[in-house]
Amino acid sequence: MSEMIESFETAKGNVFGDLLTTRVQDKELKIGLLTVGFFEYWRMFPDSLRDNVTADMTCIFDNLQKHLNHNHVIWPGIIDTLDSADEAGKVLALEQVDLIVYVAGTYCPDYMAIQALEHIRHVPVILFNTQHDNTINLKTNYENILRNSGLIANLQLAATFRKMGWYTDLKVVVGSINDGSAYEEMTRYIRAYKAYMSLKTTNIGVIGHVFRGMYDFEYDKTMIKGTLGPNVISIQVDHLLEQFSKVTDEEIKDIAESTKSRFSIVGLQDEDIYKSSKFYFALKNTIERFRLDALTLLGQHYVEEKTGTTSYLANTLMHEEGKYVVNTEGDIHGLIMMILLNKLSGKTPAYAEWGEYDEQLNAILMVHHGYANTEYATDMNTVKVNRSPEQWGLKGQGFGFEYTLKAGVVTVAHIIIDADGYKMLIVKGKALHIPENIPCEEITAVIQFETPVKQFLKALIKEGFAHHCIIGYGDYTEELATIADFMKIRKVIY
């Protein structure tokens, strides 16, 4: 008799009727390169025009391959007749390309591009307006003008798109065929699209609920799936506690010893380290059992009381490993922003609350939640492990970190839903160098902004964003704005 399939809520095995058995992996994108010329011109300038245009398009293909790294660029060759346009569209459709880069090598009537694009209408288009050089040759001839006449074709085609209602969010990039900044701009757009698309197969687990009274974090799973993309799966806390009870001393040994050797332990007993290490395995095993990519855990009161510890060592190790993204207090929208910044940067961002401001520094103190990637510390030698300053029913001291985040350009962001729907906060800032830890038994950062700080806070409060913020190193403001456009949500940029 075959084994009965059960729900993940009750099944004892590892195959469930309501979860995919194999976690969906992020895939590299297939980028279709659509290049056009015009058959009429080849006979007018038979000696060199077609060869020169082909060389230009080949240069673009090579540059795209170079800048896009592991993503596949598929180029069916130059389109110069309606038949070749139709065939190119079919090839790109058969290859199931995820995005199109369109380039006009000469002027070409709009019907050529439309014939090809009708086969792949569902994917975004980057219109690359390009020419051979970034200067005007004042001694040029007409053949060379035709070689650089893509602007005429692009204006015509973009106007036609407007009339037809196609590609209302058309991405336009301008640069010569060897302009590195143009390819970098395309790369940022493609990276944003890849992060957006990967959200659609992301499984987010929720253990517990939103912290009582934090209405700004409340969510609707259907709205999240329909607008932002991820699947939200509610996991009963008993599943985590069951995993906690199964962790063996042998499993814990290496993590506990590594924690004691890596960090300066202040005021904690071996039992505190033991329970925190045990929680790490419990959390990781829960995530892996249910094929989750990310998880938010309420924690406060119930889980702390049942386990006698916090999730902060577990969360820190998860952040450092970069495989799974985790946070607390049921902040699922903050978790989605953390996932996005993780996909854009390859690093799990820090998770913090807005704090007090400094008018002279034009900066805000960010207070973290006791965990973050320790690579972000100003000085690893100053990282302390101490008690949890907030004692939520703990037996013992709990577990938390104290250090200050290192200097560097950061992106501060979050997502929230209000009466008008979703919106995304996007702010570029600078983490200032703070030579000594702020002795508050927490992780801190001092972030400087371009807008005068009191003006910024007035706008932030009036706009109504969440009391948490996500801090990622690097400037990803352009990519996040692009993702907000893909999601068709408002973006608020300071």
CATH number at residue 158: 3.40.50.10940
Confirm if 106 and 150 have CB atoms less than 8 A apart: yes
Q: Are residues 115 and 92 in the same domain?
A: yes
Whichever domain contains 316, its CATH number is: 3.40.275.10
What CA–CA distance (Å, rounded) separates 64 from 61?
5
Tokens of 416: 């929230």
Q: Please indicate, yes or no, if residue 10 is contained in any of the structural domains.
A: no
How far apart are the C-alpha atoms of 278 and 300, rounded to whole Å? 18
Mean pLDDT of 237-245: 93
* Residue at 167 is within a domain: yes
| 176: containing domain | 30-198
Report if residue 15 sits inside a domain.
no
pLDDT (0 to 100) of residue 393: 65
How far is it, in rounded angstroms, from Cα 16 to Cα 379? 45
Whole-angstrom Cα distance, residue 106 to residue 142?
Answer: 12
pLDDT in tens, 424-454: 999 999 999 999 899 988 999 999 999 999 9
189 domain residue, yes or no: yes
State pLDDT tens for residues 352-361: 999 999 999 9
What percentage of the chain carries pLDDT values higher than 70? 98
Within a domain: residue 5?
no
% the chain with pLDDT above 90: 80
Mark whether 266 and 313 lie in a shared domain: yes
326 and 472 together in one domain = yes
CB 68 within 8 A of CB 95: no
Same structural domain for residues 43 and 156? yes
Q: Which of 183, 198, 213 is the C-terminal boundary of a domain?
A: 198
Q: Please indicate, yes or no, whether residues 189 and 217 belong to a single structural domain of this protein.
A: no
Alpha-carbon gap, residue 74 to 70, rounded angstroms: 13
Q: Which token pair is 440?
A: 């508050």
Distance CA 370, CA 203 (A): 24
For residues 181 and 206, state if they share a domain. no
Q: Does residue 116 fall inside a structural domain?
A: yes
The answer to whether residues 175 and 288 belong to one domain is no
Q: Is residue 376 part of a domain?
A: yes
Which is more confident, 110 or 17?
Answer: 110
Residue with tokens 């009339």: 163
For the chain, give the number of residues.
Answer: 494
* β-bridge pairing 99-104 and 30-36: parallel
Other CB atoms within 10 A of residue 301 CB: 13
Distances (CA, A) of 470 to 367, 412, 463: 11, 6, 17
19 assigned to some structural domain? no
Residues 194 and 51 occupy one common structural domain: yes
In tens, the pLDDT along 165-191 reads: 999 999 999 999 999 999 999 999 999
Residue pair 427/411 in contact by the 8 Å Cβ criterion: yes
How do beta strands 325-328 and 294-297 pair?
Answer: parallel
Res. 16 pLDDT band, cuts 50 70 90: confident
Give CA–CA dist 482/461, Å, rounded.
Answer: 24
Residue 280 and residue 174 share a domain: no
When divided into structural domains, the chain yields a total of 2
Same domain assignment for residues 392 and 274 = yes
**Hey, is 346 helix, strand or coil?**
coil
Tell which of 160, 180, 198 closes a domain: 198
CA-to-CA dists, residue 330 to 53, 208, 292, 335, 385, angstroms = 56, 7, 16, 9, 24
Residues 310 and 436 in one domain: yes
pLDDT of residue 1: 43
| Residue at which a domain ends, from 177, 198, 219 | 198
Average pLDDT over residues 18-23: 81
Mean pLDDT of the chain: 93
Q: Does residue 474 sit in the same domain as residue 325?
A: yes
The whole-angstrom separation of Cα 373 and Cα 240 is: 23
Residue-level pLDDT at 2: 61
